[in-house]
């Protein structure tokens, strides 16, 4: 049986041309979420369409396949949707306080746009504006921190180079400055609201969070930083509802029948389990820390959600609610 989904085959051709080491059957199966047998049919169909496909043997008898540069011709030309996606990514990066990434995406967009035929290029700008507006990106409201571009550039360079950094950092809570702190940078957490660096602290000998807005000096050293053995960023982040690392607890929320349809569309946490109750309510269970961040989110649901467990989370919510009326009061 031949494989006949042309869109998939076009994408596979571009992947085989774009990868210097080609693709294996396992790569194809994983990329397109298909069985190995279907991956074989896709490879065979592509081989029929492009006889110049190259077969690369690997140790152990495995094989990979690739297309020489230029094989796909105009198939590699970008579409309006491709350009719009880059503009969308650049705008989100700017709104997240990451101008360096935004500039890189803009440069890539310019290179791709130069490959477009003249008539398509003429109508590109209004199409992009319409797509961005439809996504709600261009007018997205909300507060966010403004991080100096040089801070982001220095940290990104250190992460890519894999070196220790020495910094002066001001703690958000106390306002105290740590001088010449030695950090091994692992990743930056960018997005709406506050933004952080995930780094290994030489002083504490553990991975911690450092507010990006708190960096007053960053110096890259020449000493290689080796990330902690077995450290998994995704697993480390999943310990928390937001960014703060706390003791992991069993969390149980119950949404009213009225709120259940909307709540069911949310991914509250990667480990969540959803249970539909007989009365139409929805129970959400997961394991994480970060009780105050949970409260910040739960406040959005008002009386449409009940904290079933743990009791400590209910206590934190009550504490924050009782403090809220005085938060906006000024002095005469």
Lowest mean pLDDT among 12-21, 71-80, 81-90, 306-315: 71-80
Separation of first and last alpha carbons in the chain: 81
Partners of 307 in the beta sheet?
Answer: 253
Tokens 């409201």, residue located: 141
Q: How is residue 304 annotated by DSSP? A: G
Identify the residue whose tokens are 């006949």: 4
List pLDDT tens digits, range 254-285: 999 999 988 888 888 878 899 999 999 999 99
pLDDT band at 242 (very low <50, low <70, confident <90, very high): low
Q: Identify the burial level of 152 via C-beta atoms within 10 angstroms of its C-beta, where 0-12 means exposed, 13-18 middle and 19 or more buried.
A: buried
CA dist., res. 189 & res. 283, Å (int):
29
Enter the tokens of residue 259.
């709120």
Q: What would the pLDDT profile of 186-197 be if each residue is shown by its tens digit?
A: 888 776 556 788
* DSSP type of residue 191: S
Q: Which residues pair with 181 in a beta bridge?
A: 167
- Determine what percent of the chain is predicted with pLDDT higher than 70: 80
| Torsion angle in degrees (nearest 10) through CA of 155, 160, 165, 169 | 20
Mean pLDDT of 125-146: 59
pLDDT (0 to 100) of residue 332: 38
C-alpha 194 chain-centroid distance: 15
CA 34 to chain centre: 25
Whether the CB-CB separation of 250 and 285 falls below 8 Å is answered with yes
Tokens of 115: 């490959």
Are the beta carbons of 297 and 313 closer than 8 angstroms?
no
What is the pTM (predicted TM-score) of this model? 0.50
Both tokens of residue 126? 């209004």
52 — pLDDT class (breaks 50, 70, 90): confident
Interval 82-94 mean pLDDT: 80
Tokens linked to 98? 């990451």
For residues 203 and 32, give the distance between their C-alpha atoms in angstroms, rounded to a whole number.
45
Q: Kindly state the tokens that stand for 278.
A: 């007989």
């Amino acid at each position: 049986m031949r494989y006949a989904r042309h869109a998939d085959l076009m994408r596979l051709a571009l992947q085989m041309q774009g990868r210097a080491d080609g693709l294996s059957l396992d790569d194809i199966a994983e990329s397109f979420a298909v069985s190995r047998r279907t991956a074989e049919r896709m490879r065979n169909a592509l081989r029929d369409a492009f006889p110049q496909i190259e077969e690369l043997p690997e140790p152990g008898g495995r094989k990979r396949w690739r297309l020489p540069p230029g094989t796909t011709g105009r198939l590699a030309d970008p579409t309006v949707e491709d350009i719009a996606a880059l503009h969308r990514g650049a705008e989100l990066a700017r709104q997240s306080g990451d101008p360096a990434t935004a500039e890189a995406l803009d440069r890539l967009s310019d290179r791709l746009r130069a490959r477009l035929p003249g008539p398509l290029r003429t109508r590109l700008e209004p199409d992009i504006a319409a797509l961005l507006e439809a996504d709600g990106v261009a007018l997205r409201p909300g507060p966010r921190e403004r991080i100096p571009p040089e801070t982001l550039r220095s940290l990104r360079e250190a992460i890519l180079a894999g070196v220790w950094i020495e910094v002066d950092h001001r703690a958000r809570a106390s306002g105290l400055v740590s001088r010449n702190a030695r950090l091994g940078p692992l990743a930056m957490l960018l997005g709406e609201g506050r933004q952080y660096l995930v780094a290994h602290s030489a002083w504490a000998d553990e991975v911690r969070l450092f507010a990006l807005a708190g960096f007053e000096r960053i110096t890259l050293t020449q000493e290689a930083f080796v990330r902690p053995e077995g450290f998994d960023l995704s697993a480390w982040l999943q310990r928390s509802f937001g960014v703060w690392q706390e003791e992991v607890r069993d969390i149980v929320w119950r949404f009213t029948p009225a709120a259940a349809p909307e709540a069911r569309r949310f991914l509250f946490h990667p480990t969540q389990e959803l249970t539909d109750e007989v009365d139409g309510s929805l129970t959400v269970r997961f394991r994480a820390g970060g009780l105050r961040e949970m409260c910040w989110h739960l406040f959005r649901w008002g009386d449409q959600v009940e904290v079933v467990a743990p009791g400590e989370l209910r206590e934190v919510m009550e504490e924050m609610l009782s403090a809220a009326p005085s938060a906006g009061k000024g002095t005469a």
